[in-house]
A and B are shown apart, each in its own frame.
Chain A
């Protein structure tokens, strides 16, 4: 029994191949200095890789620590904490969206890496799909029609009744299967709102270069078109009210200007059916938008 392990192994060699080959192991010879050094280096490398990987993993917590601004999640999303726990980051919701409203987050969003969000200003969810397809596509229930009973509901998130989609108003089933809102529209910059100033609007709502799409019922019931291809001409700006896809979610209250100039001014008023889709924010012609979605916000009367 005097054979040796024959192979000279390449870089893939591991330590066990150098073990003595006798069937009954001889007493272990004391480790050489080199061997001990090797072992020590291996321990150090192991610690290095462990530290690196865990460090990277823990970096996921950082955005939480900085309490980053909450993203607007797709319709039917669970509350942020539950959403981050259950989202499997597959992007199937991204794939079904007819207006490409849903994007996936990067590493700067920590554990939100690969999770879907909507940048409403760039492209809002206008329910062109009619049936909230992203919820249908979700394999883990992160986006859901019926939230399980044990999961929390944000105060003010529950909708009083299923929202009526204007595009489907004449259908047998005119509602969207949504129980909760993903946010609420707020007139965050009333001073810049054209209606508040009594101004009208003429031209492309967001300029000629804007890529965002919207479904215009009068143009095509089924196909959304570019906002840039649908110029407006209104005496008093009511673009947010015109564009809103939900029945009764927003109206323009008009009246004479308070400064006594005799001008008619208006103010967009958001009502309870608002689901937080973000179409008003996308269409708002002022820069920055006068009306915005507050993600995750509940309805307050």
Chain B
């Protein structure tokens, strides 16, 4: 990793905590060359090339379908494990046992430790297992590949976008620093009050338990209120601006080897990826003239949902496992 990419790496961590992404101060020579060549290209030719790509673009939902299947499978495994008493994945998303191995959600564990100020062995073991898993798979991968609220919010987002297209609603962005503030507030509340305050309103836990154990009508009404807010006012409000679980996993995923990588050379800068992205600030690098190198890994706030990979007409965004390409 060169100095410039290192700088971007640190920069992306700050962006995750809520800083606006800025134009880069330094760009590698080879990337500058590509930017230069793109500027020099004849406009008509460029348009023709773009159109050709558009014409041959396959409308793919490969990654979305794989992701939805995984998400539904994981949550269904919880449900059937209890409903049919097959004991494969017992518990709920906050804490569970996979064939006997403790798995404990990192944010829930953090809340419990802060509130209870006491750590028992099982909690420690379960947290460790999950930590290793998500460091390897990319922290926020949890969000888009496992969290059941994410799927509900994705469907609500479809309604929002449809209404927005009809000009009935407009997305009202919120300051992204709010999520960091919430994270701190809920951590502080847990320490001070001795209650796992966040767990009481966490839609992830509420939806997961509702799926497995049923009931909890009132709690689901709160989730419904969130979804309505997202449909009519702020696109993906909870996942983008509020959820402390997302930030916890984001931090875990900072060093993750699994990520999406951007290739500058083939990109036509259509911006399709940023339109479908949950966290478009991580894709600032695709804006014309912004990429600091010819290949740029996407930052830790990325949920590895693959929507951009599916949407990219030129295949400039691809999943990558760091080091694996060198190995092969």
Contact = CB atoms under 8 A, between A and B. Distances in A.
Contacts, number: 216
Contacts of A3: 39, 288-289
A10 B157 CA distance: 13
B205 interface: yes
B116 interface: yes
A95 interface: yes
Contact of A88 (B95, B235, B287): B95
A56 interface: yes
Interface residues of B, number: 84
Interface of A: 3, 5-17, 19, 21, 23, 41-43, 45-46, 49-50, 52-54, 56-57, 60, 81-82, 84-92, 94-96, 103-104, 106-108, 110-111, 113-114, 137-141, 148, 150-151
A247 to B, nearest CB: 31
B237 interface: yes
Given A88-B94, A104-B215, A53 B201 contact: yes
A84 B196 contact: yes
Contact of B289 (A21, A94, A96, A104): A21
Contacts of A106: 215-219
Which of A6, A14, A84 gathers most chain B CB within 10 Å? A14
Contact of B23 (A9, A21, A41): A21
Nearest to B39: A3
B218 A49 contact: no
B92 A90 contact: yes
Contact of B200 (A50, A60, A90, A104): A60
A57 B198 contact: yes
A16 B200 contact: no
30 contacts: A6-B269, A9-B271, A11-B235, A12-B235, A12-B275, A12-B276, A13-B274, A16-B22, A16-B281, A42-B173, A42-B174, A46-B174, A46-B175, A49-B174, A50-B181, A81-B194, A85-B112, A86-B115, A86-B116, A86-B118, A89-B199, A90-B96, A91-B212, A92-B95, A113-B199, A113-B206, A114-B209, A139-B102, A140-B112, A140-B123
